[in-house]
Every structure is written in structure tokens, then in C-alpha cells.
Amino acid sequence: MHISVRGQGPDLVMLHGWSMHSCVWSELAEALTSRYTLHLVDLPGHGQSDWEPGAFDIESLLAQLGRRLPQTAYWVGWSLGGLISLAYSDRFPERVNKLILVATTPCFIKKEDWQSAIQDDVLREFSDKLAHHQKDTLQRFLILQARGAVKSRETIKTLARQLVTQGPANSEALIDGLSLLINLDLRLALSRLKCPIKLVLGERDSLIPHTMEADARSLNSALEVVLIKGAGHAPFISHPVECEQAVMTFFESEKSR
């Protein structure tokens, strides 16, 4: 697993979302390097990380992250990276000082008792089409992430440009990553999390309805929430200043574990 380390200060781990890689954090990472030692992870089969079958088995993935990352750190995860960060925080609670989940939900799929989510057939369709139409499927997903948001065209162009810097992810890694999004339900993990946690949502996110905020608060009343007006699924790209503020104010506050 490739992990780029840069900056100075307290350790901060950053996990990207599905189909992307650590370069997606470039603008936010640049703003943070003077204050934090960043550990920019490329998930298996993404970016500069090699792929091995089974690498997205959640227990194996968490164990590998545990071996490669600092004993204690701040964490930021986006979308799939946020889901994995939440699982890591539940598995190794003593190793996560504070956690920020960007455009992340503990349960991506709509259920009878969890309505602020997406239908599972949306992600299953992506999975079915990847084998024969990977390029078109990834392009559709880029559009979906910015659809309806402020600066949607600019966001799509930025995501597309960053995607090609390392090339597309391994097709098996993409399918297994979607499987995590479909099958992981971490609502219990969120409810028992003790470290300070902040949720950063986009007002116009077409994948994670901002109404999920109320459901998330019902699971963990200590949860802090920031709703970024006009943002879609990649608020750190469309609204970098607001995201930087959300990170800085949370990590640098005096609130302890």
C-alpha cells in the first residue's frame, strides 16, 4: 500500500473515496502541510498502490492500515475513505484522536430504518457495468458526484484531471470497493465511537442527502456537523476554504478525547 508522507506537526491520515486516489486531496493537503504531518493513503488498487485479490476484505484492510500508519493520529476520510476511517476508529479506538468524515454516511444504502441514503440498485448498476464499460462508468460517477451543486463543471473537470494523473483504479479493486459501500453498515460503530467526530456534508450532495444529519445525530449525540451550502459530494474541491476551516477549527480546538 502506497502512503505518501509530507509536512510537519501532529500526524494526520487522509483516505480518498471510491475510484480516486490520494492526489484528490492536493489543494486541501497543501493548506495543511505547515501544521500536520500528512499520511496520504492510496487504497489497494488505487493510485500507486498495487492490487492483490482480497485486499478490500475489511478486516485485512484495517489490519494493513494498522501496521502502516502512526500509533495515534487525526483522521479525515471522504466517502468510501470515510466509511473505512469509521471502521478503523471502531477497530482501533485508542489510535484515532479525532475523526472527520467528509460526505460520508455510516450506511450508504437505503433501508427500512435508514431512509437518508441511496437505493442499492444504483451502486449495483455501477458494479455490473464496470467489467465492460469502465471508462464510461467512472465518467458517470464523476458527474454524479457534482450534479446539481455549485461549480459542478469545475468540480468534474478537477476530479477528472486528478483521476488521470495516476490512471484508473484496478477493475477488481473498483468492484470490491463498491461491495464495501453496498454491504457495510457501521451505524453501531458510529453510535459507540468515543473520540470527537465531525461530519462535513454538502447541501446538494446527490449521493448522501443532507437530511442524513438528523439520523447520524440520533446515533451519536456528540457528533459535530457542518453543512456546506451549495456543495455536492466533493466539497473540498468546490468549497476548499470552507473545508479547510472545518478541519482546522475541529482539530485545533481544545476539546479532548
List 21, 39, 233, 239, catalytic entry? 233
The strands making up 3-7's β-sheet, listed across from edge to edge, are: 3-7, 37-41, 11-15, 73-78, 96-102, 197-202, 224-228
- The H or E element that residue 180 is part of is helix 171-183
**CA 86, CA 83: separation in Å to the nearest integer?**
5
Q: For residue 17, give the nearest of 254, 207, 193, 222 by alpha carbon.
A: 207
Which residue reads 467528509 in cell numbers?
102
19 is catalytic: no
Per annotation, catalytic residue among 42, 90, 176, 205 = 205
Q: Is 205 a catalytic residue?
A: yes
Catalytic, 116? Answer: no
Catalytic residue from among 79, 85, 89, 152: 79
Q: Residue 194: count other Cβ atoms within 10 Å of its Cβ.
A: 12
Euclidean distance between CA atoms 25 and 5, whole angstroms? 13
* Bridge partner residues of 111 (DSSP): 114
**Residues acting as catalytic residues:** 79, 205, 233
